[in-house]
Chain A
Amino acid sequence: MSAPRSARHLWGYRALFLALSAGVMISKMLPLSLGATGLPGPDLLLALTLAWLLRQPALVPLGSILVVFLLADFLFQRPPGLWTLLVVLASESLRRRRLTMTEFTFFLEWSAFTGAVFALILLERLVLWLLMVDLAPLGLSLAHAIVTAAIYPIVVAVSKFLFGLRKIGAAQAEA
C-alpha cells in the first residue's frame, strides 16, 4: 500500500463495507425465509464485520460498526443497543489483541472469531437475564453461534477472492 493510493483504497473499502452490510440486511428482510425454521441462520453481519476487522482493522472504523449494528438492532426487533454494545466491545478487544500479535495465522484468526462469537452470545444472554427479558432457548442460541463460526471461512474466502481484501501484518496494522 503506497501512501497516495492508501487514502482512496481505505475509503473505497469502507464504503464497500457499508454497502455489503446494507445488502446483508436487505437480504434478511426479504419476505422469503418465512417458512424456514429449524437451524437458525448464521449472523452474516457479525461474521463480515469481524472478518474485515481481523484482516484490516482500519477498514472497519468504530463509526461504521455503530451505524450498521444500531440500524440492525432497530430493524430486527432486538433490544436496541445491546448487541451493538457487545459488538463494539468485542471489536475493540480484537483490535487491541491484533496489535500485540506478531504471527497471525488463519487458524488463529478463526479461533479468535469463534471465541468472540461465543462470548458475545453468552454475554448477551447474561445481560438479558439480568434485565429479566425473555430468553430464546439456549440450544437455539448455541446452534446460532456454531453456524456463525462455521460460516467464517466462507466469508473470508469471498472477501479475499472477490473483493481482494488481503490480510496485513501486525506492523502494518500499527501504522
Chain B
Amino acid sequence: MARDPNDQSYARPIRSLLVTVVVLALLALVLVWRIDNPRVERMRAAIIDRVVPNLEWALAPVTGMARMIDDFQSYTRLYEQNEELRRELQQMRAWREAALQLEQENARLLDLNRVRLDPELTFVTGIVMADAGSPFRRSVLINVGARDGILDGWATMDGLGVVGRISGVGDQTSRVLLLTDANSRIPVTIQPSGQQALLMGDNTQAPMLDFIEAPEDISAGDRIVTSGDDGLFPPGLLVGQVVETTDRMLRARLAADMARLNFLRVMRSHPGTTLADPGALIGPPWPPPEGFVQGSGQRRPGVAPITRPEQGGDLSQGGVLR
C-alpha cells in the first residue's frame, strides 16, 4: 500500500504542483521580458552566442548542399539564361559607356569642389551564419559581434543596398533585422523628388512606403536612399526603387538581394547628432548694458584695439587686418 509505483494518488498532486510552479516561472519570465526588455534581450543574445557557433559544423554542409542543388536546377534553364545574358550584355555595353563618361565627369567635378568624402564611414564585413526566424520574423545572424565593435542600430548592407539594421549584439554574433521584417521602419528619401517617407516592412518581399507628403510626385523607378533622419543610418545609402502595385500602393523593390544573403557589411555609423540646447538667437549684438562706459567712444565694434603706437604709420595698411 505504501510505495506502490502504480498508485497515482501520491504522484498526481505532486505533478500538478510541479506544473503550477513551471507555469508561474514561465509567466514571470514573460513579465520580466516585458518590463526589463534590454536585460532579457542581452540574455537571448548570450544564449544564441552559445548555441549557434556550435551548430556551424551542421549548418555549413547543409547550406552548401542546398545552394548546390539550387545552382544545379539552374543548369536546366541554361539556354534561356544564355540568351537572356547576351541581351543584357548588349544593354550593359551602352550603360558602361555612359558610366565611364559619368565617372570622368564626376572626378572632374569632385576635383573642382575639393570634396572630402566621409572618412568615418568604414565597415565591418560578416558572413551570414543562420536565419533564426519564425514565419513572422525576418532576421539573420552574422558572425561579427561586440568583439568586433558592433553596436546596436548600425546599418547593414550587402554589396549594393541596405539589408537591415543590427538588433541584438552578442559577443561573437549579432542579429540583423531585415527591412522586410514587420517591425522594421526606417526613414528614407525618394530621389529625385526629395520627399521623405517611412519604409515599413510588412513581411513581404517589397516593404511599403508610407507617410509620403505628395505621392503624385513619385513615379515607379525612383531611387530610394536612406535619409539619415533617425540619427542611426548614414544618409544616402541606396535602398532600392519605387514600384507601384496594382492597388496603387507604393512599395520598394530592394536593391539588396534578400534571397541570397551571404556577406554583409555593417556600416560603422557616427553617433547621431543630438540636440542638447535650444540654440542661441541669431541677430545683431545687443546694446551694452546701462552704466557701461566704453574706453573710446569712436571705436567701431569689431576693430582690434591698436596696441603698438610705434607702428601707427602702417596702420592703414595692415593694422586693422592683422
Contact = CB atoms under 8 A, between A and B. Distances in A.
A175 B5 CA distance: 9
Interface in B18-56: 18-19, 22-23, 26-27, 29-30, 33-34, 40, 43-44, 47-48, 51-52, 55
Contacts of B27: 81, 85
B63 A31 contact: yes
Interface residues of A, number: 40
Interface string B251-282: 00000001111000000000000000000000
B97 to A, nearest CB: 33
B175 interface: yes
Contact of B26 (A30, A81, A144, A174): A81
A28 B59 CA distance: 11
B218 to A, nearest CB: 24
B205 A30 contact: no
Interface stretch (B78-86, B136-144, B239-247, B289-297): B136-144
A66 B22 contact: yes
A26 B58 contact: yes
A65 B73 CA distance: 39
Contacts of A85: 23, 26-27, 30
5 closest cross-chain pairs (CB), A and B: A40-B135, A35-B259, A81-B29, A85-B26, A31-B131
Interface of B: 6, 8, 18-19, 22-23, 26-27, 29-30, 33-34, 40, 43-44, 47-48, 51-52, 55, 58-59, 62-63, 66, 128-140, 175, 180, 182-183, 202-205, 258-261
13 contacts: A26-B58, A26-B59, A29-B55, A29-B130, A29-B131, A32-B66, A62-B18, A79-B30, A80-B29, A81-B26, A85-B26, A136-B136, A140-B135
